[in-house]
Chains A and B, each alone.
Chain A
């Protein structure tokens, strides 16, 4: 499986934008970029995914580099409820499942 690299942790202040980076230099042409987050004591929650173009939804935006070797999850205004571990995962177009790394722990301060 193609691997991703994320910082272990990041900090943000409430109501500020947060940019969570992910490197995936060995991504293949059929790999989708998925982001999940896991709040304490809960299962992972789907956030967003994309293939080549930038994507927006009600939770976040996903910016994908032109060469697709990196991507950034953007939370436009962090809230205390966004404090979680964020996982960047590559998933190909077949029957593949999710391979989780250690993710980035996002800390949000009031």
Chain B
């Protein structure tokens, strides 16, 4: 079984630019979540998608947006990049609903905003 794949692995952007990060979910998983992890901190929840609909969002501004596609792959878009957006962005997929399932995480995309 394949795991969660994220691309690119590293990215450098300039403040004010826009960025798109991509994620391929583990086979059979139709729920995907995105997290932001600043250096030295635990991951912070951005949003979650289930069957192409957003069904949960953390405390992030609207310039953070996402999409989930019919094949359950996903994108995270960030507009008007700020220096504080520099972080590791993690994608995680899961079976739907229930606290009784675990998430599978990708290795992340390291975004640096200069």
Contacts and interface: CB of A to CB of B under 8 A. Distances in A.
**Overall SS of chain A's interface:** loop
A101 B104 CA distance: 18
A22 to B, nearest CB: 14
Interface in B27-53: 33, 35, 41-45, 48, 50
A34 B102 contact: yes
A102 B41 contact: yes
A42 B107 contact: yes
B45 A97 contact: yes
A97 B42 contact: no
Interface in B66-114: 90, 92, 97-100, 102-108
A83 B48 CA distance: 29
Contact of B100 (A46, A93, A99): A93
24 contacts: A34-B102, A36-B105, A42-B107, A43-B105, A43-B108, A44-B103, A49-B99, A49-B100, A51-B99, A93-B97, A93-B98, A94-B97, A94-B98, A94-B99, A95-B50, A95-B56, A96-B56, A97-B45, A97-B48, A97-B56, A98-B33, A98-B45, A98-B103, A101-B42
Interface of B: 4, 33, 35, 41-45, 48, 50, 55-56, 90, 92, 97-100, 102-108
